Amino acid sequence: MEAQEILQDIVFVLLYGCVIGISVVAALYLLLRRGNAIAPEITSPVRLRRWAAAFLVVNALSHLFWMFYAFHPTPAVYSIVCGLDMLMLFPTIKGVLVSMLQDRHRPVWPVLVALVPALVLVALCIVRGDEVLYLPLSIYAIALYALIILFMVFAVRNYGRWLRDNYADLENKEVWQSLTILGLFLLFFVMYSSTSEGSPMLVYLLQINCIIIMALLLWRVETLPQLSESTAPEAEPAEETQKASAPPATPSKMDALLKKHCEDTQLYLQNDLTLSQLANAIGTNRTYLSYHFSQLGITYNAYINGLRVRHFISLYEKAMADGHGFTAQQLASESGYRSYSTFSTAFKQHTGKTVTAWMRGGCK
């Protein structure tokens, strides 16, 4: 679809304007609202909210730039808009995705460095005033995006390991959804790169894809909890230093401490129990405790879930023996799970069977 034809399509112009309006409103919402509307009980990471707002602002600006090009469809304007798009979109996309990973701070500046060759190609396009370099520019942009995808695949995988080593409950903490967002970004980019082929349906799908991206991004921002001292409290610095200087407990002593302070007291039933909290409870530090679990060949998450699953089984057997009415959901909640789906996944991992199959099979 040519630029002038787009301006004559009233329905498309209205849809296009809606995308701009939604982007601006959503950005203001993320920046100005302190609480969450989707999940009021969750505190979102501030850094993620700011990067998401930045991306939404950039999305609105990008749409305005392309609207300007529709009024002035020249090669020079096209090249300038492409350059501005890449300069704004790639860093904000990377910023959104890495800010979901809270194990450590990951910089965004490498993307800016990687954009230098693309900006050089854009400058050459402007100077030459033709379309000869558009193809290598598109290829470079797609290759750069592929590198971001590859980086995120490994980063999310390592982040999942970090979560399992430090948190008993992974509900809403895992960020594989960020790869879904990444895939939608890629779809957005591929569709955007193909709009020059003139498909009217494609330009409509591009805007619908933008709306889907914004909705998914808002959902992810509002449901991802801030992993800070409020959810994962650490020991006081002096106390932690003192514990770290002490020799680690022997495996047998560590097992005894876990049994006394975690298993016998049923501390594992506490929602969102973290590795740091457990380490403080048994009188050691998280480094030694994490090392102990690694020596056993398990993660902290697997240890806690193993105790919770066994607790569920004991509650089930007692309820069956007493003839009391119950539901699996109720017993799962009493076993430390806030989500039945989380419990169901943990149960299958530890028993090799689904809850339903286990019950039907006589609990064997």
The strand pairing partners of 274, in sequence order, are 167
- Residues 302/332/263/303 CA torsion (nearest 10 deg): 0
The strand pairing partners of 167, in sequence order, are 274
**Under 8 Å between Cβ of 61 and 88:** yes
pLDDT at position 230? 39
Q: How far apart are CA 230 and CA 357, in angstroms?
A: 38
Q: How far apart are CA 343 and CA 334, in angstroms?
A: 11
More confident position, 190 or 56: 56
Predicted confidence (pLDDT) at residue 236 exceeds the cutoff of 50: no
pLDDT at position 245? 43
Domains contained in the chain, CATH given: 3-223 (1.20.1070), 238-360 (1.10.10.60)
Predicted confidence (pLDDT) at residue 209 exceeds the cutoff of 70: yes
DSSP 176-212: THHHHHHHHHHHHHHHHHHGGG--HHHHHHHHHHHHH
Predicted confidence (pLDDT) at residue 241 exceeds the cutoff of 80: no
pLDDT in tens, 254-268: 999 999 999 999 999
Q: How far apart are CA 297 and CA 149, in angstroms?
A: 30
